[in-house]
Structure 1
Amino acid sequence: MSAKSMFDRRTLLRSGAIAGALASLAPGHSLFARTPEKWQHVQDFMTRYVEPKKLADMVAVLGWGQDAPQIFAQGTDSLRSQRRSDQDSLYRIYSMTKPVTGMAAMMLIDAGLMEIDQPISDFLPKFRDMQVQKVYDGPITPDNLEPAERPITIRHLLTHTAGLGYNFVQQGPLAQAYMRNGLIPGEVTKLDVPQIFGGEPVNSLAEFADRLAEMPLVYQPGTRWSYSVGLDLMGRIIEVVSGEAFDAFLQKRIFDPCGMTSTAFMVAPDDLYRLTTNYGILGGVLLPIDTPDNSVYSDKPPFPFGGAGLVSSPRDYDRFLQMIGGQGQIEGQRVMSPAAVRLGTSDLLPDTLAPTDSFAQNYGFGAGGRVGKGAQAGIYGWMGAAGTIGFVDMKRGLRHSLYTQYMPVETYPVQEEFPQAVAADLVATQN
């Protein structure tokens, strides 16, 4: 299992079924007079993985509009656990953290504290004069560097178009430079496997930002969609703009008002009993790489990873999606303005993007999450590197999410098959 495989670009592009499977369904919950009660295709899909122990567990959450969700769970929190997985089991949601960070940024834009096309150097001056690699992921030498043609903006960070790298994506010298400088945007295991999970993160978001500013970009800002540490850097900007620690801002502005009581960057000792085990799959065998009794999430992280650091429960993340689907409101509690939600769930890709960009030819991207195009318009969300999925269909009102824990994610087509099963149940109900 390679580190790159956890964030494989082809996997991200191939997973269009998450948005596409529901695109043919007509908008409006009222059109679905008979919502599936058992979601049999979804349950059969889960059984195919859990019963033969291909995976330890799965939890699926499906909800309409502001209605309470239906929750289906199979398996136990680990292969050795006696605890049945449920809505309160804790999962490493990894990159499903990105939409949370993105919506936090939307709040500050909505408050007029920053603008979407504002250069980030207004807040982080060290990013004023960036260098860009002439050859993508090539050598970090003067002959392969040129000045950035335009400043990095807030929009670029939100949509992975800043030209920043990712140590899980890059394969050239830049990946090693990120590692040496502690630009590690997450932690996976305490196991001593440096060839896969090596590197020690820096100790603060401020230091992360300062060191990142010294690294060259892999693309000219605004020209390519390239998965990156943009949302991690956004965490630092949120700190600077709000005057609050990033994790404290999320707690006060999103988690508390949404009633997300089990979402954080670490797991409290009293809650470790419901933390699921994360498995690495090697030759079809599940190998535990992060367990409740030896988890990286039992310790305070070096800094709050805004791109991939949160642990959450199925109940909690569904509440986040419910708030987004409710145009910023949940159970009468106003968390965000409708305008901020509309902006964050719209296609924010810059107009300077290269027409040949393979991602933009198929999808849009909003505040930390993918948005659909054409018939898929209105579908917003993202996925996690250990098999989790969280999307909300802003037009049709359906929110759907799935929770399990395995790496590398492309070992099984879980992130394609789940939305297909959801769509199959909806279609079957209408016949």
Structure 2
Amino acid sequence: MIEGLAVEGLDRAAAQAAGMDPDRLEALVDFLDRTYVTSGKLPHMQLLLSRDEVPLLSVVRGEARAKGDPLRDDALYRIASMTKPVTSVAFMMLVEQGKVALDTPVTDVIPEFAYLRVGRANRARPKRAMQMIDLLRHTSGLTYGLQRQTPIDARYRKLGLDEFQQKRTSDQFIADLATLPLEFSPGERWNYSVSTDVLGVVVERLTGLDLETVFRERIFGPLGMADTGFLLLADKADRMTDAWRLGADGVRTVGDHGARSGWRRERFLSGGGGLVSCAADYHRFARMLLRGGELDGARLLRPETVEQMRSNQLPGGGDLSTMSSGMFSEADYQGVGFGLGFAMGLAGGEYYWGGVFSTYFWIDPVERLIGIFMTQLLPSSAYPVRAQLRQGVADAIVQTRRG
């Protein structure tokens, strides 16, 4: 049972009290179920929606495993790039402690980057030094192999630098990454990349702790996120979902068998995509952000820091459509800015991010809404479910708080 939800499913009384139309929310669930789960496009889905931190809706549909196990409301998912906001929060906690600043050169902590060059010829020097803010907002010049646009992307793929679980140590990851050129000089463009993985290594080096320990002691423990981490423990293995992959032929196949995979801990802890979590835990993380950095007496960040994180930090106030050079990210580009760890709408101010297995969250600080959507289908670009989900929730608002 999700914390604070009187009944499993749609709490119609709570929805009405929160200024939401329960009939429209019910219609949205029916649409998502019919269009994606019953049709077989998605193996399953879990949707959690709250307003003013009060859960209004918590539904689970479909099968957690290929063998037919029904999805549970405490199911565990590979949240992939929804790890990035967690890593960004950990870094901003260090900023508040005075251990680092947004304009600190990355080479102050990652000296291996001192000889990075730009372009596949690996000759041109960057026009300016890479700063920590570039890692947070993906303007570093780094890339992902999955972008599949340039020879540099191909070299990332060859080295396996995108993978969530790698046998490298953090130092080996940085050493291998430092052998490759940048796509562009830091600050010139936006490109979804391994920047947050590098940020995770920065956090490790500044604290002298591995990322798992930092997250557990400074974020998950204080927030009561007992089911989130880099390692799937044996006593929780029965809650782990399978993950499916959609092939070019449109056929869905199992890409990772939940408990049998073990979601093992390798030597490198990916700050960009390595966490396993559940809807209830991530809702607590989102509540902390909505409340300006505090939850149940545990303050992680100051309100002004959270405000800074959810404000557009792209150079010149641009949007992703004008600055992006990559083909793939977990957001649309038009009218979308990027803060310190997640995308944000330039018109409405909501902020959000997702993972490559099609997980997704968004926070609307004006309407006081939090949405958590969990499923396990790769790639996340397969279907427009995220946009349909957010539009359906917006259409269900009866009492708006804007204006």
Band of TM-score, shorter chain: 0.7 to 0.9
Partner of 1:295: 261
Superposition TM-score, scaled by structure 2 size = 0.86
Alignment partners' CA distance in 1, 2:27 and 2:296: 30
Q: Deviations over 1:279-334 (max 9, x none)?
A: 1123443211111243261x112311111111110111111101100111112322
Deviation at 1:245, TM superposition (A): 1.2
Alignment partners' CA distance in 2, 1:360 and 1:117: 25
Partner of 1:240: 205
Q: Is structure 2 residue 362 aligned with structure 1 residue 362?
A: no
Partner of 2:356: 385
Superposition TM-score, scaled by structure 1 size = 0.81
Partner of 1:422: 393
Q: Is structure 2 residue 380 aligned with structure 1 residue 409?
A: yes
* Matched residue type, 1:111: Q
* Matched residue type, 2:208: G
* Matched residue type, 2:344: V
Deviation at 1:412, TM superposition (A): 1.8
Partner of 2:153: 175
Change (3 A) 1:30 1:40: closer
Deviation at 1:364, TM superposition (A): 1.6
Partner of 1:112: 98
Q: Is structure 2 residue 20 aligned with structure 1 residue 35?
A: yes
Q: Deviations over 1:34-93 (max 9, x none)?
A: 33446213311321222233222111011123334531111221242333331x101111
Alignment partners' CA distance in 2, 1:275 and 1:412: 23
Q: Is structure 2 residue 84 aligned with structure 1 residue 98?
A: yes
Percent identity over the alignment?
Answer: 33
Is the CA contact (8 Å cut-off) linking 2:116 and 2:125 kept in structure 1? yes
Change (3 A) 1:402 1:33: closer
Is the CA contact (8 Å cut-off) linking 2:19 and 2:398 kept in structure 1? no
Partner of 2:348: 376
Q: Deviations over 1:221-271 (max 9, x none)?
A: 101010110000000100111221112111111111111111111211121
Deviation at 1:30, TM superposition (A): 12
Alignment partners' CA distance in 2, 1:159 and 1:74: 34
1:210 to 168, 172, 175: 175
Q: Is structure 2 residue 146 aligned with structure 1 residue 161?
A: no
Aligned partner of residue 410 in structure 1, secondary structure: coil
Alignment partners' CA distance in 1, 2:152 and 2:38: 42
Is the CA contact (8 Å cut-off) linking 1:41 and 1:424 kept in structure 2? no
Aligned partner of residue 238 in structure 1, secondary structure: helix
Change (3 A) 1:202 1:78: closer
Alignment partners' CA distance in 1, 2:169 and 2:160: 10
Partner of 1:77: 64
Q: Deviations over 1:324-346 (max 9, x none)?
A: 00111112322222222122222
Change (3 A) 1:356 1:413: closer
Deviation at 1:122, TM superposition (A): 0.9
Is the CA contact (8 Å cut-off) linking 1:265 and 1:301 kept in structure 2? no
Aligned partner of residue 128 in structure 1, secondary structure: helix
1:141 to 107, 121, 132: 121
Alignment partners' CA distance in 2, 1:30 and 1:57: 24
Partner of 2:37: 50
Change (3 A) 1:226 1:296: farther
Deviation at 1:416, TM superposition (A): 1.7
Is the CA contact (8 Å cut-off) linking 1:66 and 1:326 kept in structure 2? no
Partner of 1:197: none
Partner of 2:115: 129
* Matched residue type, 1:289: G
* Matched residue type, 1:380: Y
Alignment partners' CA distance in 2, 1:61 and 1:361: 27
Alignment partners' CA distance in 2, 1:181 and 1:79: 31
Aligned partner of residue 402 in structure 1, secondary structure: strand
Deviation at 1:141, TM superposition (A): 2.9
Aligned partner of residue 249 in structure 1, secondary structure: helix
2:271 to 298, 302, 306: 306
Q: Which 4+ runs in 1 deviate beyond 6 A?
A: 29-32, 352-355
Partner of 1:137: none
Residue ranges of structure 2 left out of the alignment (5+ in a row): 1-13, 325-331
Is the CA contact (8 Å cut-off) linking 2:105 and 2:131 kept in structure 1? yes
Alignment partners' CA distance in 1, 2:227 and 2:338: 27
Q: Is structure 2 residue 252 aligned with structure 1 residue 286?
A: yes
Is the CA contact (8 Å cut-off) linking 1:94 and 1:309 kept in structure 2? yes
Number of matched residues? 377
1:151 to 129, 136, 148: 129
Deviation at 1:100, TM superposition (A): 0.9
2:225 to 240, 254, 260: 260
- Of the structure 1 ranges 75-84 and 160-169, higher mean CA displacement relative to structure 2 is found in 75-84
Alignment partners' CA distance in 2, 1:109 and 1:286: 43
2:370 to 396, 399, 402: 399
Is the CA contact (8 Å cut-off) linking 1:59 and 1:402 kept in structure 2? yes
Q: Is structure 2 residue 204 aligned with structure 1 residue 227?
A: no
Q: Bigger relative contact order, structure 1 or 2, given CA contacts below 8 A and separation 6+?
A: 1
Is the CA contact (8 Å cut-off) linking 1:57 and 1:78 kept in structure 2? no
